[in-house]
Amino acid sequence: MTETTTHSRRTVLTGFGVINPIGSGPDAFWQALLAGTPGVHTITHFNPEHLPSRMAGEVKGFSAKALIEKSYRRTLNAMARTVEFGVIGCQLAMQDAGLAKGTVPSHRIGVEFASVMGATELDDLGPASKHSIGADTVEPDMAVWGKEGLPKVPPLWMLKYLPNMPACHATILYDMQGPSNTQIPGDTAGAVALGEAQRIIRRGAADVMLVGGSEAKIHPLSLSRFNLFAPFSHRNDDPEGAIRPFDVSRDGTCPGEGTAAFTLESLDHALARKAKIYGEVLAVASGVDRGLKGPGMAQLIRNALTTAGIEPSDVDHVNAHGLGTVKGDAFEARAIAEVFGKSVPVFAPLAQFGNLGAASGLMELACSVLALKNGQLPGTLNHTNPDPACPIQVHTGAPRPVTKPYAVKLSYTDLGQSSVVVIRRWEGV
């Protein structure tokens, strides 16, 4: 497709789907953010008493069967919880954008999704494994496993958990035959997906791209493993105050679950169909800050600002990953301070609902999209004693007015993979 106007290179957010521990749907989510509603509590999905860290941001009362389009219900037996979240998130984003199946030519719409391998449900592999282990050993007998254990594994076992399944199901549900891909670099996966979707639209390969992320970490196998090495908080007696971003008393993070999905659209296409517009994506930058030093992420921020055509002084707020870990928060704060000093407020919404992994970047970005749209920036939870090692200005307390049209979103992984997104409040062409 030949680009014929300056608008065709611009990309806007026209649909929004979110399922979150503090509220699902844009309105409920926004009200919970404004109110400072805590979403991290003692785990109830299973008995967590054997875990050193027993807190998480759980989505309560979620039913994919009640939400998914009726014609697609039969596929639910091939979806793990993280896949269900992702598919429903895409469905909500499409509905919010006012796009039904067939309203966009199938070859002009695609999907970029952020995900990771899902944790196997115990009932899927447990019986086969137990059958293959003798009474006097903890090691499976592989001969027995191959002959008698393997037939007990459900035929669709692997298809329930693969990272590309949310994108796969979404393409089938909406007959999307345009570009389709899955991004897996952990907490930066959502920003990577958004950046790739933006490039696809800019080069004219699609008019609309679904961009989403989902994760469901609150599982006995996953959390037993993560508790061995992940920097989780041990404030089990105060789960609501456990994640303390950039605070001197922080001791770790907590997992969360859910999905966030956006409909990204070329500006020309959105204007032609008179779509509502939440905001504009100006720039996405990704790279690696090896060793979590700070200058690498700071350079990415500068790169993104340059691409967006703005200065640090133009930014209303920085939306930090704010995990609440000792090393991670200090790293992120150094990068922010190198570019912005203390002149720009920092907002860390993850403290309200936990770290959603592959879904975290887009979920946290959604907070800034709503803040710019509604003209208010909610306060950061649980930041009471600033850490001198984090020389930034964290916004806490009551919501403050949004005074500038731009926001910057940061994400990173413990390996130093880093991403930056710059968005603009929609104020018209």
What is the pLDDT, as a whole number, of residue 143?
Answer: 82
Mean pLDDT, all residues of the chain: 93
In percent, the amount of the chain with pLDDT more than 90 equals: 83
Q: Note whether 399 and 34 are within 8 A (CB).
A: yes
Choose among 54, 220, 229, 256: nearest CA to 125. Answer: 220
User: How far, rounded to the nearest angstrom, does the alpha carbon of residue 123 sit from its chain's CA centroid?
Assistant: 28
Asked if pLDDT for residue 127 goes beyond 90, the answer is: no
- Which string of DSSP letters, residue by residue, matches 218-247? -SHHHHHHHHHHS-B---TT-GGG---TTB
Q: Note whether 133 and 152 are within 8 A (CB).
A: no
The residue with tokens 């003209």 is 375
- Amino acid letter, residue 23: G
Asked if pLDDT for residue 6 goes beyond 50, the answer is: no
What is the pLDDT, as a whole number, of residue 7?
Answer: 57
What is the pLDDT, as a whole number, of residue 135?
Answer: 66
- Amino acid letter, residue 304: A
What is the pLDDT, as a whole number, of residue 408?
Answer: 98
Q: Which DSSP helix (H) or strand (E) runs through 16?
A: strand 11-19
Asked if pLDDT for residue 118 goes beyond 80, the answer is: no
Q: 289: phi > 0 → left, psi -120 to 50 → alpha, else beta; which?
A: beta
Confidence of residue 8 (pLDDT cuts 50, 70, 90): low
Q: Note whether 250 and 387 are within 8 A (CB).
A: yes
Confidence of residue 4 (pLDDT cuts 50, 70, 90): very low
Choose among 403, 375, 349: nearest CA to 32. Answer: 349
What is the pLDDT, as a whole number, of residue 284?
Answer: 98
How far is it, in rounded angstroms, from Cα 417 to Cα 413? 5
Residue 409 has a CB neighbour count (10 Å cut-off) of: 28
Q: Using the 8-state DSSP alphabet, how is residue 152 labeled?
A: G
What is the pLDDT, as a whole number, of residue 237?
Answer: 97
* Residues 6+ positions from 301 with CB-CB distance below 8 Å: 285, 335, 336, 339, 408, 410, 420
In tens, the pLDDT along 152-202 reads 787 777 788 889 999 999 999 999 999 999 999 999 999 999 999 999 999
Map out the domains of the chain with their CATH numbers.
6-121+157-272 (3.40.47.10), 122-152 (no CATH), 283-425 (3.40.47.10)
Asked if pLDDT for residue 78 goes beyond 90, the answer is: no
Polymer length of the chain = 429
Q: How far apart are the first and last CA of the chain?
A: 22
* Residues 6+ positions from 386 with CB-CB distance below 8 Å: 246, 247, 248, 394
Looking at the DSSP assignment, which residues form a beta bridge with residue 279? 13, 425
In the structure encoding, which two tokens stand for residue 48, read together? Answer: 């967590």
Minimum mean pLDDT range among 161-165, 380-384, 387-391: 161-165
Choose among 6, 7, 20: nearest CA to 258. Answer: 20
In tens, the pLDDT along 14-24 reads 999 999 999 99
In tens, the pLDDT along 271-317 reads 999 999 999 999 999 999 999 999 999 999 999 999 999 999 999 99
User: 310 by DSSP, 3-state: which?
Assistant: coil
Choose among 356, 263, 338: nearest CA to 294. Answer: 338
How far is it, in rounded angstroms, from Cα 85 to Cα 43? 19
Q: Which DSSP helix (H) or strand (E) runs through 125?
A: helix 122-131
User: 425 by DSSP, 3-state: which?
Assistant: strand
Q: Which DSSP helix (H) or strand (E) runs through 35?
A: helix 26-35
Asked if pLDDT for residue 112 goes beyond 70, the answer is: yes
